[in-house]
Amino acid sequence: MFTQGDEAARFFLLLDGYIRVERLTAEGDRVVQLHIPPGQLFGIARALGRDTYPASAVAAADCVMLWWPASLWDAFEARYPGFSAEVHRTVGQRFEEINSRVMELATQQVEQRVASALLRLSRQSGRQTDSGVEIAFPITRKIISEMTGGTLHSVSRLLAAWEKARIVESRHRHISVRDPARLEALSRTGGGAQA
C-alpha cells in the first residue's frame, strides 16, 4: 500500500483482508510491528502529526480497501464527528498493542513471545477449522521471528516442538492453534513444549 518514509498522500479503510505493518531499521532489518484486521483505518500518519508514513503497509492476504487523498482529512474531521472518534480509538488500540509488544520484548523469553504472538494473531484473525483455530492469512516462520525479536532458528525449533506436541499445526504457510490452553500457559511461563 505504501512504504516507510513515503509522503502520506492517502489514508485508508480496510474492508477485507489483512495488512502487515513493518519497519526497516537503519541496518536494513525488517521488524513486523502488527497486523491490521478488516474494518480498521490505516495510513493515518496525519493523526500522528506526520506528513510521511512511519512504517510500510504490506498486504498479508488479498485486500479490499477504500482510500482518500490526505487533503480530505480536515474535511472528514469537520464533517463526520465519528471519524475523529474512530481515529482516536484506532491510535489508542495501536499504541496499546505496540506497548504490549515492547513489554513482551523487555520481559519475556523468546518462547513466551512466540506463544503470545500466535495467540494474538489467532484471536484477531482466527477461523475455526478441523485442525484448530487457523490464522486467517499466510504467515512464515521468518515473519514470526521478525514480530517477536527471535531468530529464525529459534522460531523454527519452537514451532517444530509445538507441532510434535500437537499444540500448533503448520501447513503451506498457514498456522493453526490446536491447543490454545497449552499455548496460553507457554506464553505466561515458557518451559518447553511439554508445559
Is residue 18 domain-shared with residue 46, that is, in the same domain?
yes
Planar angle of CA 62, 64, 70, nearest 5 degrees:
125
Residue 69 falls inside a structural domain:
yes
Is residue 35 domain-shared with residue 119, that is, in the same domain?
no
Structural domain including 60 reads 10-106
Residue 172 falls inside a structural domain:
yes
Is residue 94 domain-shared with residue 138, that is, in the same domain?
no
Residue 88 falls inside a structural domain:
yes
The CATH code of the domain that includes 158 is 1.10.10.10
Is residue 16 domain-shared with residue 101, that is, in the same domain?
yes
Is residue 92 domain-shared with residue 133, that is, in the same domain?
no
Boundary (domain end) residue, out of 73, 106, 139:
106
CA dihedral sign of residues 108, 153, 162, 193: negative
User: Comparing C-alpha atoms, which of 93, 68, 83 is closest to residue 12?
Assistant: 68
pLDDT at site 126: 86
Boundary (domain end) residue, out of 85, 106, 127:
106
Residue 94 falls inside a structural domain:
yes
Residue 194 falls inside a structural domain:
no
Boundary (domain end) residue, out of 80, 106, 132:
106
pLDDT at site 192: 53
pLDDT at site 73: 94
How far apart, in Å, do the first and last CA atoms of the chain sit? 40
CB neighbours of residue 143 within 10 Å:
21
Is residue 169 domain-shared with residue 120, that is, in the same domain?
yes
Cell of 34: 502488527
Is residue 57 domain-shared with residue 135, that is, in the same domain?
no
Query: b/e for 59-72, b at 16 or more Cβ within 10 A?
Result: ebbebebeeeebee
pLDDT at site 25: 87
CB neighbours of residue 106 within 10 Å:
7
pLDDT at site 195: 35
Is residue 146 domain-shared with residue 178, that is, in the same domain?
yes
pLDDT at site 190: 64
The CATH code of the domain that includes 81 is 2.60.120.10
Residue 5 falls inside a structural domain:
no
Is residue 126 domain-shared with residue 163, that is, in the same domain?
yes
Is the CB of residue 175 less than 8 Å from the CB of residue 164? no
User: Comparing C-alpha atoms, which of 187, 105, 96, 193 is closest to residue 146?
Assistant: 105
Q: How many domains does the chain have?
A: 2
Residue 180 falls inside a structural domain:
yes
Ranges in the chain, pLDDT < 50? 193-195
